[in-house]
Amino acid sequence: MKDTQNEPDSRQIPIDRVGVKALRYPIQVRDKDHVIQSTIALVQLTVDLPHHFKGTHMSRFIEVLGSHGPVVHVDNIQQILKELTKRLESDCAHLEFDFPFFLEKRAPVTGARGMLDYQAKFQATLERGKMDFVVQVIVPVTTLCPCSKAISKAGAHNQRGQATLAIRFRKPMWLEDMIRLVEDSASSELYSLLKRPDEKAVTERAYENPVFVEDLVRNIALRCEADQNITWYRVEAENFESIHNHSAYALIEKPSNAKNIL
């Protein structure tokens, strides 16, 4: 049958990334306790397209992913990228897995157990045999306003926020350790289940540890700088303000030309 994608293109314009996105697929992730956690990822697979090709073969992306079975293990990421470059005759391939990651958390006083979800993302690029790997996690937190506490006779406004931490590293870092790094930088961490003694403890902890959105990103950045395993980081924080109709936002990115080559 006629292969239209392989026909020459006269415009002489290469495409940086072409492929499939928003594909839901089962994956398995190993947590710090070495337990396999099954989840559903939103997958994006792309390659570069030389200027002389009219199009890419979209079906081959699905074939490569499916060749690893009905459930993909994240340990196969590098192999998936190698197969993409080979099957699609490309110099560079990209992969993104965006998925919910769950942790069981104990309430601080009663020890009541509940599951809390975090949004994680693996971004990997294989270019001419070298792989760059970035891990990202979005962590919900509580922040209490230092200014509100300083000027109020009683109480202070607080809000739920989220911090997004992306890193490159020398050796793989557990998602749980990234989450803990962020939670320790906020006024308080979040829990899915709190009894009254727990709620009292969390409220008082936040009151004793006020942070602006600027404090939150700086606290996270300091912890990243202190970890010699982290070679690059980008941290964003957004507070969903409780007394405004807008969010407060801050970002810090460590400048680096070095990629996480595996």
Give one word for 234, left, alpha or beta, with left for phi > 0 and alpha for psi -120 to 50.
beta
SS3 165: strand
CATH code of the region 1-100: 3.10.270.10
Q: Which CATH architecture has domain 107-121+135-257?
A: Roll (3.10)
pLDDT of residue 184 exceeding 60: yes
| Maximum average pLDDT range among 29-33, 212-216, 241-245, 252-256 | 212-216
Gap between the Cα atoms of 15 and 255, Å rounded:
27
Beta-carbon contacts of 100 under 8 Å, excluding residues fewer than 6 positions away, are 39, 40, 117, 118, 119, 120
Average of per-residue pLDDT across 118-143: 96
SS3 63: helix
Gap between the Cα atoms of 9 and 198, Å rounded:
64
Q: Write out the residue limits of the CATH 3.10.270.10 domain(s) in the chain.
A: 1-100, 107-121+135-257
Q: Which two tokens stand for residue 34?
A: 């070495």
What does the pLDDT look like over 17-62, one tens digit per residue?
A: 999 999 999 999 988 888 899 999 999 999 998 767 776 889 999 9
pTM exceeding the 0.85 threshold for the entire prediction:
yes
pLDDT of residue 257 exceeding 70: no
**The predicted structure's pLDDT at residue 75:** 85
